[in-house]
Structure 1
Amino acid sequence: MRPRRLSRIVEMVGGAGHVTVAEVCAALEVSPATARRDLDALAEQRLVRRTYGGASALVPLGGGSPPGGRAEGESGARLARRATALVPPGSTVGLGGGAVTVAVARALAVADGVVVGAGGGLTVVTDALDVAYELAARPHVHVVVTGGSVRPRSLRLVGPAAVAAVREVVLDVAILGVDGVHPRFGTTTADADEAQVGRALAAAAHRVVVVAGGGAHGVTGPQRLLPLDEVDVLVTDAAPAGPLAEALAASGVEVLLA
């Protein structure tokens, strides 16, 4: 049955982080054409990210958010804590959606030294309902939600209303999760509408912080988000190497390891 087969593929991708068409064929005893159709169907449902010759996990440690926006274990928590340390006390922060930005919200919720500054509490502007949920009950955090149309799976708010709302604010720092960081294509993500809001958050910010684990290095999602020269800081858990390291240095991106 196809539903059982699709579920099995999701388990394979979740366990290994990536699966090839050949591996699907071997494990499920299907033809390459069937395997490719199954991977395409899962990608359309945003359960995996389609890659050349296979598929990978939709969230390579800190990119786009699955339902509930769960961070990837202790690695995701470390990335979140490192990013939180970059938030000035009492500042205005833009938080995009995604697994690690939800983790950043959780870290901000308990980081009283960051949240409360001389001018009062922290203001968080977000296009992600799960991010807003994590911070809404904090008395010293003022949460501004952009508005717009809700993406059911990612809980992101998109569309002209979301972009227009972001354009009205000035942010001290914007923190964005991404699906890929590539030397040529810059930072990338999975959804064009979500990317548009992410670009608006970056344009509104004095400082742009991108959070992406080592699994995102050299990876490209289907939609461009920001070129490297529009990123101020990359927070990651593995030192970039080769062409990516060279491109980051040439673009003036500060790399901080969690």
Structure 2
Amino acid sequence: MLAQQRQSAILDLVRRQGGVRVSQLVRQFGVSDMTIRRDLEALSERGLVDKVHGGATVAGPGSTEEPGFDAKSVRQRTEKAEIAARAARLVEPGTAVALSAGTTTAALAALLLDVPGLTVVTNSIPVADALYRSGRSDQTVVLTGGIRTPSDALAGPVAEAAIASLNVDVLFLGVHGMSPRTGFTTPNLMEAGTNRLLVAAARRLVVLADHTKWETVGIATIAPLEDADVLITDSGLPEEARIQLNERVGDLIVADVTGDQE
């Protein structure tokens, strides 16, 4: 088989399966590991696949592409709901919590309406709106100012100034992507700075990230994987990813959305 024919067949596999491993391709095509890696490099240079550790996946969006809040809210709804439900169990009455922007943190906000005595710091317009509409007299909502981003976050110097003087018990952080190489990332440079300050303000960091965030990379790193005291994801996460995350984060919680056991 010619290299061009093999690469076409590899591309077809990636598109049908969502991703392939080098070892799988070596067995399937009966060629060397180095030959497969050259094939993947050639496909990657053409923008047809994204190379990841040990294989390749369907080419994803660029590192600066940022979908709007409405567009993201219809993706992985079941996974995000289960992740939010697990996160809500970690919230104690009478504590100060921070919620970053994101559709998963917005789902969490809706579950905090009945938790008494909360002080919630957020740079998310949807999060603040959900809590404000509940009208609980024993909850305090602190919405930072700032410049609005496509994900309905408030970011920039005004938001950073507001966050810099605050201290919270726990931060629930939504992210665009996560990988061993780049850590937790965002496609928005301005939002990255705001999120870093939220991380610094929190005694405990809980990251909420569904399985599609694995090996997705935004342009700016918020924090390394090792900074997460807890990472809550879903059972769609591949086993190899679970192994790598277990080695790096404090506690990995896998929400069941497929009938699998944690």
TM-score (normalised: structure 1): 0.69
Equivalent residue, structure 2, for 1:55:
60
Contact 2:205 2:230 in 1 (8 A): yes
Q: CA deviation at 1:86?
A: 1.1
Give me the whole-angstrom Cα distance separating, in 2, the residues matched to 1:249 and 1:155.
31
1:123 pairs with 2:126: no
1:164 pairs with 2:169: no
Equivalent residue, structure 2, for 1:143:
141
One of 192, 196, 199 as aligned partner of 1:199: 196
Q: CA deviation at 1:168?
A: 1.1
Q: Residues 242-253 of structure 1 correspond to what in structure 2 (within 5 A)?
A: 242=240, 245-246=243-244, 248-253=245-250
Give me the whole-angstrom Cα distance separating, in 2, the residues matched to 1:76 and 1:125.
21
Give me the whole-angstrom Cα distance separating, in 1, the residues matched to 2:249 and 2:58.
34
Contact 1:228 1:253 in 2 (8 A): no
1:66 pairs with 2:62: no
Contact 1:65 1:97 in 2 (8 A): no
Q: Residues 67-146 of structure 1 correspond to what in structure 2 (within 5 A)?
A: 67=70, 70=73, 72-109=76-113, 112=114, 115-116=115-116, 121-138=117-134, 139=136, 140-146=138-144
Moved more, 67-76 or 134-143: 67-76
Give me the whole-angstrom Cα distance separating, in 2, the residues matched to 1:211 and 1:65.
18
Question: Structure 2: which 5+ runs fail to align?
Answer: 1-15, 19-46, 48-56, 256-262
The letter of the residue matching 1:203 is: A
Contact 2:98 2:171 in 1 (8 A): yes
1:224 pairs with 2:217: no
Contact 1:158 1:193 in 2 (8 A): yes
- Over aligned residues, Cα RMSD in angstroms? 3.0
Give me the whole-angstrom Cα distance separating, in 1, the residues matched to 2:214 and 2:140.
34
Q: CA deviation at 1:241?
A: 3.3
Contact 2:214 2:241 in 1 (8 A): no
Question: Structure 1: which 5+ runs fail to align?
Answer: 1-15, 19-35, 37-51
Give me the whole-angstrom Cα distance separating, in 1, the residues matched to 2:202 and 2:67.
20
Change over 3 Å in CA distance of 1:64–1:128 after alignment to 2: farther
Q: CA deviation at 1:252?
A: 4.2
Residues matched between the structures, number: 199
Q: CA deviation at 1:64?
A: 7.3
Q: Secondary structure at the match of 2:133?
A: coil
Q: CA deviation at 1:221?
A: 1.7
The letter of the residue matching 1:143 is: V
Contact 1:70 1:103 in 2 (8 A): no
Give me the whole-angstrom Cα distance separating, in 2, the residues matched to 1:64 and 1:93.
26
Contact 1:132 1:145 in 2 (8 A): yes
Q: Residues 179-218 of structure 1 correspond to what in structure 2 (within 5 A)?
A: 179-218=176-215
Greater Rg by CA: 2
Deviations 1:23-53 (A, max 9, x none): xxxxxxxxxxxxx8xxxxxxxxxxxxxxx97
